[in-house]
Homo-oligomer: A and B are copies of this chain.
């Protein structure tokens, strides 16, 4: 209950987002969308967190109409769950969904590797190396949020290189959902991708070795999935236990 009280009292006139920068144009919605989705992907908004329309409209300085549009978009990407008369909340993926997502990534990302290896260019490789480096640095600096986002961006960028926009878009959505899954089932210790996995993968791709890249991506994803502790949480009173143990 303290959470709700705190959220209510913080009715602040301080609007986030770039106050004077973004014109009131339609780009505003884009920026708000990214602000919310980034917050979810970076675990600043945890699964189960409620997203009240009034609060969001006050925070971002736009009317509920615009917020609703953004919320529906996020819902179709399955980052938030829209319960009929209860409002929006950050999606809490089930164990079955987690398995589905990783199976899908296994099939698609691995299947994409040969084509990516074929289309890899020095410029793209350089960009990916930069992303991998920034991810490592974030991880080393203890910034889990940034590391998770960079990892998802890396996988998404890689998929885009295949030239298939449809599949790339799907991979990006799967990566976003993976971030949510990590938030729920991930162990705090070692999260997500191993430090040098992405660099190793890049080496194979730069060599044009699609086969090895495909196999390596398969192991990479399996490793991530194996690092999760998938246990279906009980439905009845798990919150009470958590509260008392905390």
Contact = CB atoms under 8 A, between A and B. Distances in A.
A164 interface: yes
A166 B108 contact: no
A107 interface: yes
Interface residues of A, number: 21
Interface in A162-185: 164-167, 170, 174
A165 B69 CA distance: 25
Given A26-B84, A84-B26, A111-B111, A167 B72 contact: no
Contacts of A97: 165-166
A67 B33 CA distance: 21
| Residue among A69, A96, A170 with the highest chain B CB neighbour number at 10 A | A170
A181 to B, nearest CB: 12
A72 B100 CA distance: 26
Contact of A103 (B84, B164, B170): B164
A174 B170 CA distance: 11
Given A26-B84, A111-B111, A170-B170, A104 B72 contact: no
A103 B72 contact: no
A76 B166 CA distance: 12
A103 B166 CA distance: 9
